[in-house]
Amino acid sequence: MNIVYLCADRGIPILGDKGASVHVREFTTALARVGHDITLLCAKQGYGNPSPPARLIELPPDTDAAEIRGEGESLGIGQEAWDHTVHREIDKLVCDRRLASRALDALRTAHVQPDALYERYALFHRSGGDLADALGIPYVLEVNAPLVYEQARFRGLRLTTLAEETEIATFRRADHIVAVSEAVRAHVLSRQVPEDRVTVLPNGVDISRFHPQVDGQEVRTRHGLDGRLVIGFVGSLKPWHGLDFLLDAFMRVSQQQPEAVLLVVGEGPGSTGLQSRATENGLGGKVIMTGRVPHEEIPNYLAAMDLTVAPYLPQDGFYFSPLKVVESLAIGRPVVAPRLGQLPSLIEDGVTGRLFPPGDLAGCVECILSLLNEPSQRQHMGHRAGIAAQGIFDWNQTARQVAEIITTLRSGTS
């Protein structure tokens, strides 16, 4: 089939390193790998990683300040209420209003006649439905998070009612919705979407690149890790990742395992604070922060670790489907994580990793030490993790399931 993938979120640079960027690339690559022709329409192409095997078309925002200001006035937003957050949200609304027509023009110019539209849901955007209607094709929407809640909690949201209305309209308009976790599915269903129109498909991994045979020696040599026990973290260092919790756990681990090091791979808002705390507590030489690492190098970094930690903090409605967890398991590294949301379904406690009660620092430390102190147990778990990932987390399998959904929609039986 000829499938158009739409990512209207300008915060997701397609060729970038953040988890969402990796998700778009890996999934579209898998769709192409299993035989489909992919056109990827995006708001931001970005840079830093190879392009997926797709026809990549960038449709950057095309609004101006006067237009945004006029829209704000039409919404009854007075001068006294105007700020950066309002400006950003109205910019998205105005951009979305003509995105469908711009996308149609781009597809016609590229001589693309799609069989289906697959969109990654973006806040304040409903143009995917307009585009699918104009083309007369099935419309599948991928939902990765309760974005209205997430935006309000972590970044700030002013036009909350409008965001809610847009989300509800978009969810109900889609022919089918792919949710990345059971918690996200529950959120979608709370918007009165019929159960038979929602399928849970967790994030996957490219097992041709992430597998137990990957060699991490060059990374170990580069960072002076030879002969040391390496506890790893890979991510974008966002507030919800629990980096302070991880450092607290590592400080206790270090007291019993002085040779252990914490290797933090990635960059983000938590970088400076984590490094400062490590230095203040005399762990500067034991906490190694790599900064940005291209995703194509992540397999080697994971292979250089003895175990990884996903130190998420306790929270209601934990909805993540963490890429870093499935990638670590696929490399053959046991994962230590809390019993939250989807994590217990990804990690089998005592078999492919260790689980601890959310927020239990002592429990986390005990899990890490149990793996560091028992090399044979750690290696056995890693072996089991690699085997499990081959059969459960393959992106190709996800791509085939999505293709089956689209085929059913096209046949008119759903």
CB distance 174 to 197 below 8 Å: yes
Q: Where are the domains of the chain?
A: 2-204+395-411, 217-392
CA distance 210 to 201: 19
Let me know if the fold of 2-204+395-411 is the same as that of 217-392: yes
Work out the burial of residue 54: count CB atoms within 10 Å of its CB; fewer than 13 is exposed, 13-18 middle, 19 or more buried. buried
User: For the segment 301-351, what is each residue's pLDDT rounded down to a tens digit?
Assistant: 999 999 999 999 998 778 888 889 999 999 999 999 999 988 999 999 999
**291 CB neighbour count, 10 Å cutoff:** 9
The one-letter code for the residue type at 135 is: L
Work out the mean pLDDT of the chain and round it to a whole number: 93
CB distance 275 to 249 below 8 Å: no
Angle, helix 395-411 to helix 19-33, in steps of 10 degrees: 70
User: For the segment 50-95, what is each residue's pLDDT rounded down to a tens digit?
Assistant: 999 999 999 998 888 788 888 888 888 877 678 888 889 999 999 9
- For 55, phi and psi rounded to 5 degrees? -80, 105
Q: Name, in order, each residue with C-beta under 8 angstroms of 320's C-beta and a sequence gap of 6 or more.
A: 145, 181, 240, 312, 341, 342
The one-letter code for the residue type at 104 is: L
- By C-alpha distance, which of 25, 69, 30, 32 is closest to 51? 25
User: For the segment 168-204, what is each residue's pLDDT rounded down to a tens digit?
Assistant: 999 999 999 999 999 999 999 999 999 999 999 988 9
Is 217-392 a domain of CATH 3.40.50.2000?
A: yes
Return the CATH fold of 2-204+395-411.
Answer: Rossmann fold (3.40.50)
